[in-house]
């Protein structure tokens, strides 16, 4: 398998692939978001209990799901970077961190907008909210740690170590705050039996969840390509690339 994977670890190849990936995934993500959001915000039936204000779910749930998904993938990439000493993996961790932080911030913000009419308060010290807030700080920590090094390579490796530690700790944080205090509703899609949400409401949500994933892939590959260029700025292939463009 590694023989087959090996050519993709070359920076110029990785740069080309990620740019192609970006070109294909960005339109797909935008179309998906447009369809899912319009369907969800305009055409989906109103909730019998929450009225129209439940519609923020179509932004909140995808952002919240992928705020955790991004952290996991960041941890896996960091682990691979540390174990197999793959430089491009380090760059991918740096590419993912700010995107995940923005997803987390969106989830927190829309969540508090949703909480105001439903729970009557912007913020409660509830399990999910707390662990999401801590997740935001973990993201910021990874990025701040990278910034506090003069040498980019060392900073990237340090960020990888922190990302891996965070992945070990995230489940601990999640369950500890769950036992501590909880008000947030339980999972309604990721249960193993039939989802407890009606079909016409569910479809746009699934579309949006999928589109946010694709959007994450698009942004990550673009940021990754930029990071590769910056890391390799002294190399020949980058100079050739610049000459072609100018």
Partner 1 sequence: MSYVNFVKQMISRDLQIAATQKHEFGLPILFFVLVVILFPITLGPEGTQLAHLAPAVGWIALILSMLIALPRMFVEDYENGWLEQLFLSGQPHILIVLARIISFWLLYSLPLVVSSFLLVPFLTLPLELWFVLVQTLLCGSILIACIGSVASALLVASRKGSGVMALLVVPLLIPALIFATAAMDAAQMSLPYTSPLMILLALSVFALTITPLATAQALKLNLG
Q: Which residues bind partner 1 (CB under 8 A)?
A: 82, 130, 134, 137-138, 140-141, 144-145, 148-149, 154, 157-158, 161-162, 164-166, 168-169, 172-173, 176-177, 179-180
Least Å from the CB of residue 156 to partner 1: 10
Output the smallest distance, CB 158 to partner 1, in A. Answer: 5
Provide the token pair at 46: 């109103």
Nearest CB to partner 1, comparing residues 20 and 176: 176
Closer by beta carbon to partner 1, 141 or else 195: 141
Query: For residues 151 and 193, which CB has a smaller minimum distance to partner 1 in the complex?
Result: 151
Contact (CB, 8 A) for 45 and 201: yes
Pairwise CA distance, residues 107 & 62, whole Å: 8
Return d(Cα 73, Cα 66) in angstroms, integer: 10
Neighbour-count burial for 33-63, b at 16+ CB within 10 Å, e otherwise = beebbebbeeebeeeeeeeeebbbbbbbbbb
| Cβ-contact 79, 50 below 8 angstroms | no
CB-nearer residue toward partner 1: 49 or 147 = 147
What's the min distance (Å) between Cβ of 123 and partner 1? 16
Q: Tell me the closest approach of the beta carbon of residue 240 to partner 1, in angstroms.
A: 31
């Amino acid at each position: 398998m590694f023989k087959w994977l090996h050519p993709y670890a070359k920076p110029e190849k990785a740069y080309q692939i990620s740019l192609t990936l970006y070109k294909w995934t960005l339109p797909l993500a935008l179309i998906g978001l447009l369809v899912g959001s319009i369907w969800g915000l305009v055409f989906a039936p109103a909730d019998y209990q929450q009225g129209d204000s439940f519609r923020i779910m179509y932004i909140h749930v995808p952002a919240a799901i992928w705020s955790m998904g991004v952290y996991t993938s960041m941890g896996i990439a960091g682990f691979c970077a540390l174990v197999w000493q793959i430089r491009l993996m380090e760059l991918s961790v740096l590419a993912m961190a700010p995107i995940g932080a923005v997803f987390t911030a969106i989830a927190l913000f829309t969540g508090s907008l949703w909480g105001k009419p439903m729970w009557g308060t912007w913020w409660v010290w509830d399990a999910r909210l707390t662990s999401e807030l801590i997740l935001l700080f973990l993201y910021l920590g990874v990025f701040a740690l990278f910034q506090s090094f003069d040498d980019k390579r060392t900073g990237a490796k340090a960020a990888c170590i922190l990302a891996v530690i965070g992945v070990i700790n995230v489940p601990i944080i999640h369950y500890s705050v769950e036992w501590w205090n909880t008000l947030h509703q339980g999972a309604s899609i990721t249960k193993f039996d039939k989802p407890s949400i009606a079909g016409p409401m569910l479809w746009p949500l699934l579309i949006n969840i999928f589109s946010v994933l694709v959007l994450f892939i698009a942004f990550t590959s673009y940021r990754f390509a930029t990071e590769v260029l910056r890391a390799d700025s002294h190399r020949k292939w980058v100079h050739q690339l610049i000459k072609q463009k100018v």
